[in-house]
Structure 1
Amino acid sequence: MDIPISKEELKPFLQRSDAKAWWIVVSAWLGIAGIFIGAALLPHWSTYLAAVFLLAGRQQALAAIMHETGHKTLFKTRSYNKFVCKWLSSPFLLMDGETYIKCHLKHHRKAGTDQDPDLKNYKDYPVTKKSLIRKFARDFLGITGLKANLYLLLSGRDLLSREQRVNNQLARGVFVNFIMFAVLWISGFPHLYALWVAAYLTVYMAIIRMRQIAEHAGVKDLYDLAPKYNTRSLPRGILGLLFVSPTDGLSYHCEHHAFMAVPTYNLRALHQLLKSRGYYDDIESTNSYLGVLKQALR
């Protein structure tokens, strides 16, 4: 079945907005600042634990911003995409947006085939409940994060693409993270930077896994070229807002694969149009991330 939308109908969804894009970036950083302020005002282990989870969600927001700016679809002004990708998102995750997008574009070209470079992340699903619990346990205990970052530091390669790191990639990441630490130190709360590190090594790794599962694991046919069969779209709900899909539209991954040039803040409306025209009638859809986990289990 062809995707039921014409080129003329698609044009409004392709429109980009600097105002909407800056709001996504600013709101992510306001969230980070607010979490640190809350932890400073309420110094208690329970507050710190909540902060670790919430900061991991904001780290996912930065990853989503890196993804969108890498595609050059977030901002209408091209130079804003490059600046935000290079300085306000990817380096805080010790990544480089340009290196990431080269590998990611291959994923787009090869999705639905055995040549997909990301296939290893979801090809074995569905899995047993015990297997899934073990995977998330490794994430929450920091085992996945420590292994991944040891690879990053010792291999000289990028964390996701496994390609050789570009010049100054790691140095830029260390620099911007030092700036964050310095701001907290000047504010009188240098110890709070440990929350950022803890979030990155633990909960953020679990969020990455959940995102991979939600986007491609346990779908109708991982080896079909049609986006509606090899990927998944769903409403983000409260779990998405806080953790897995913190930027508007990120959870509509099928539309992103079908029309890569559509900015994230237009994907939800595009999804609703396609759904109203019966595009998903032969798909067993789910409306929550808990539902996704059920589809990822044997």
Structure 2
Amino acid sequence: MPAAPRARPADLFTPEEWAPFQARAAWVGPLLVLHCWGVILLAAVAGVLWPILIPLCVAVIGTRQLGLAILMHEAAHGGLSPRARLNDFLGHWLCAVPVGASLPLYRPYHLSHHKYAQQPEDPDLVLSAPFPVTRASLRRKIIRDLTGQTFFKQRVLYLFKAFASDRDEDMAEGAVVTGRSVAPFLLVNAALLAAAILAGVWWAYFVLWLLPLATWFPMVTRLRNIAEHACVEGSADDAFRAARTTRASWWERAFIAPYWVNFHAEHHLFMHVPCWKLPALHRAVHARPQGGRIEVAGGYMEVLKTASAGTTLPASG
């Protein structure tokens, strides 16, 4: 069972150049969690005050629900706080549980993904192995996401299969832990519903929390998964080809890829670098000759064309 190839910081940087990427600020992680919930709250208030904005608010909230999952991922690497207890509290109760996940269960699963990235033992291989697919197949997947079918499959049907060994691509990552964390998930969501009732807008929980969770969140999670590993040649043999980085415009960061999740190649190279330092790491790596081997896409639409056209993007700087 060979592990995935690894890169060492010393292969690219001097100790002085690498030192800033090792430093961790105690306040940034909690601030990101606060920012994520703040955006969700502001979008919910906007939807209540101006119902015409509800479709836009659903997209904004669904993307920040993905943001909570991304910050849970950061906590899995110990990146939300240098204090382990605070890191795990924030990552579990304020990030993972509200969207139906569990940090203690996700962490070993995800670290296994890093250890065996794109190897047969990689638990996330089912997310990237089917690609490229036909455009019709990709369209059907996105329709299932936006119509709530994926949510129903993960949160209801797989609730009874979470302990089973067999799973398909929709069972990977979040759905694996959903069944085992259902009680905390229901508890937190009951609190959110109670808060909406006390505020006199009971319907807001269903329209401005549950609806994004059942539609936009699964869709952007799928786009994230496709962009990270699908159709990257040489990913099992070269540490610099283990994942793809996607250049994200402002609107893609707002509606698809929050909190620097698009810098996935750099994250796989050096997984303990905090997410907010990934743009600087991207620039530093690409200033070295090895950076030219990294797969870089010009945007998420470009990735989707590649994932549904049977072609592979060339590596670019």
Structures share a fold, TM > 0.5? yes
Gaps of 5+ in 2: 1-5, 165-170, 311-317
Match of 1:295 among 306, 310, 314: 306
Give the aligned length: 292
State the identity %: 30
Partners of 1:284 and 1:35 lie apart in 2 by 34
- Root-mean-square deviation (CA, aligned residues, Å) is 2.1
Aligned 1:90-169 pairs, distance under 5 A: 90-157=96-163, 160=172, 162=176, 169=181
Q: Which of 202, 216, 222 does residue 190 from structure 1 map onto?
A: 202
Secondary structure, counterpart of 1:72 in structure 2: coil
Cα separation, 1, equivalents of 2:296 and 2:147: 31
The SS at the match of 1:281 is helix
Letter in structure 2 aligned against 1:264? C
Q: Which of residues 164, 182, 187 is equivalent to 1:170?
A: 182
Q: Output the TM-score relative to the length of structure 1.
A: 0.91
1:43 aligns with 2:56: no
SS at match of 1:233: strand
Determine which structure has greater relative contact order: mean sequence separation of CA pairs < 8 Å that are 6+ residues apart, divided by chain length: 1
Go from structure 1 to structure 2 and tell me whether the alpha carbon gap of 1:294 and 1:172 turns closer, same or farther (over 3 Å shift): same
Q: Distance in 2 between matches of 1:91 and 1:164?
A: 9
Tell me by how many angstroms 1:221 deviates. 2.3
Which aligned runs of 4 or more in structure 1 are off by greater than 6 angstroms?
A: none
Higher alpha-carbon deviation: 72-81 or 25-34: 72-81
Kept in 2: contact 1:157–1:164 (CA 8 A): no
Query: Which runs of no fewer than 5 residues in structure 1 stay unpaired?
Result: none
Equivalent in the alignment of 1:5: 13
What is the letter of the counterpart of residue 60 of structure 1? Answer: L
- Residues 218-275 of structure 1 show CA distances to partners (whole Å, capped at 9, x for unaligned) of 1122322x2321211123322432233211x321111111111111111110110111
Distance 1:157 1:31, change over 3 A: farther
Quick one: which amino acid aligns to residue 117 of structure 1?
P
Listed one character per residue, the Cα deviations across residues 181-208 of structure 1 (whole Å, up to 9, x for unaligned) are 1111111111011121111111111111
Aligned to 1:271: 282
The structure 2 residue matched to 1:61, chosen from 64, 67, 73, is 67
Structure 1 range deviating more: 76-85 or 60-69: 76-85
Q: Secondary structure at the match of 2:291?
A: coil
| C-alpha distance in structure 1 between counterparts of 2:179 and 2:153, whole Å | 17
